[in-house]
Amino acid sequence: MFHSFKITNTLILLNLIAYIATALFSANLAEMDSRVLVAFGALYGPLIFVYDEWWRLLTAMFLHGGMTHLMMNMFSLYIVGRPAEIYFEKRAYLALYFFSGLIGAAASLAMHPQSVGIGASGAIFGLFGALAGFFLVHRERIGAQSRAFMKNFGVIIALNVLLGLSIPSIDMSAHIGGLAAGAIGGMMVSYRPRWLRFYSVAMAVILLSALFYLQGSNASVL
């Protein structure tokens, strides 16, 4: 059956549009000016905690620091987004993607409150986690396929951990936060699709609680 992968393609297109816009203002196609990224909505603690610019947790998901960063993330999104769009219905896909990205951004903000944070990796790792959850729930029904995915999943995670440890600019906290949020959601929705609403409410409560805590703990030191 033909599948057009509209959600995945749209997300990739939005990331590309955002990159072109920041490249124009940076006057550089390969590397983005950090000041431009902040102006376009990157994570930046002083603006978030002092001026309540919490919307940056969402906008930062569509920004990338350079061509390599963009291509790596968009290739990963292309690879993981297509099966996620097949196995999860639209609302579940979007909830898993954006809640993973937001939780990942909150984790990044907690670990690096005064750094500029960008990238879709938290949301993308959330989709990896969601697929892992799906295959774990259905491992008996689709045993061979499940084992193959989990093997590939383990390799991808190991490579990203090694890459994160070797390149200081890669924020592993966003990856871990997104992966955890996605895995939890993937298992819940795969086990009972109607639990999507409960997952969404739970993630919203966790996110708001984390942001309330971060606001209080960082406002006095920035």
Looking at residue 106, its pLDDT comes to 97
Q: Is residue 1 part of a domain?
A: no
**199: CATH:** 1.20.1540.10
Number of domains in the chain: 1
39-43, 135-139, 212-216: which has the minimum mean pLDDT? 135-139
The burial class, CB within 10 Å (0-12 / 13-18 / 19+), for 201 is exposed
The dihedrals phi and psi of 217, each to the nearest 5 degrees, come to -80, -20
- Distance, CA of 8 to CA of 124 (rounded, Å): 11
57-87 residue pLDDT tens: 999 999 999 998 899 889 889 988 998 999 9
Is there a catalytic annotation at residue 138?
A: no
Q: Is residue 84 part of a domain?
A: yes
Hey, what are 30's tokens?
């390969």
What's the average model confidence in pLDDT over 130-149?
Answer: 78
What's the average model confidence in pLDDT over 159-167?
Answer: 62
What's the average model confidence in pLDDT over 175-197?
Answer: 95
75-121 residue pLDDT tens: 889 988 998 999 999 999 999 999 999 999 999 999 999 999 999 99
Q: Is residue 202 part of a domain?
A: yes
49-53, 105-109, 158-162: which has the minimum mean pLDDT? 158-162
Q: Is residue 123 part of a domain?
A: yes
Q: Is residue 42 part of a domain?
A: yes
- Please pick, among 26, 64, 175, 190, the residue that the annotation labels catalytic: 175
Q: Is residue 52 part of a domain?
A: yes
Give pTM, 2 decimals.
0.92
Q: How far is CA 2 from CA 6, 10, 49, 87, 89, in A?
A: 12, 17, 46, 14, 15
| pLDDT category of residue 216 using cuts at 50, 70 and 90 | confident
Q: Is residue 53 part of a domain?
A: yes
- Please pick, among 121, 146, 173, 190, the residue that the annotation labels catalytic: 121
87-96, 135-144, 174-183: which has the minimum mean pLDDT? 135-144
Is there a catalytic annotation at residue 121?
A: yes
Looking at residue 217, its pLDDT comes to 85
Q: How far is CA 69 from CA 54, 119, 126, 169, 178, in A?
A: 24, 8, 18, 11, 17
Q: Is residue 43 part of a domain?
A: yes
What domain range is 123 assigned to? 6-218
